[in-house]
Amino acid sequence: MADKEDVKNCVQVIVDKLNEVGPIVAEEWGGSVQFVISDLKTGWFIKMAMDGTVESCDEKIDEEAALGVLEMDSDTFVGIVNKTLNPLEAQAEHKIQVRKSMEALMKVLPATM
């Protein structure tokens, strides 16, 4: 099992990539996504600014406020971010649960693939 520090490092990778590609894929969106890491009983809530960059990234679970939710275990999350696990294969194997808006999740997927 990946530990919390591994997950935090991967969240930072996502934030950095979103700040790089966000203005291209998420400009004027201003939405939010929730990553839930089930085995660690925690998650990260990422809110996008209207310019497409990350406005905030907080360790918390607030699915009600999120437009899109991705839930998985820590190994799956770290594997996807580190590109040792294909996200489509992980979803086909039911390692990822997707809730709420798929459109919202499509805004952050470029940062994880």
Predicted TM-score (pTM) of the model is 0.93
pLDDT digits (tens, 9 = 90+) for 64-86: 999 999 999 999 999 999 999 99
- Average pLDDT on 96-100 reads 95
Give me the CATH number covering residue 82: 3.30.1050.10
- Average pLDDT on 86-91 reads 92
pLDDT at 113: 65
The two tokens of residue 78 are 């770290």
Task: For CA atoms 38, 70, 75, 8, give the dihedral sign.
Answer: negative
How far CA 14 is from CA of 43, 56, 92, 107, in Å, comes to: 14, 12, 22, 12
Domain around 83: 4-111
Looking at the structure of the chain, the number of domains it has is: 1
- Average pLDDT on 100-109 reads 86
Q: What is the DSSP string of the chain?
A: ---HHHHHHHHHHHHHHHHHHHHHHSTTT--EEEEEEGGGTEEEEEEE-TTSSEEEEEE---TTT-SEEEEE-HHHHHHHHTTSS-HHHHHHTT-EEEEE-HHHHHHHGGGT-
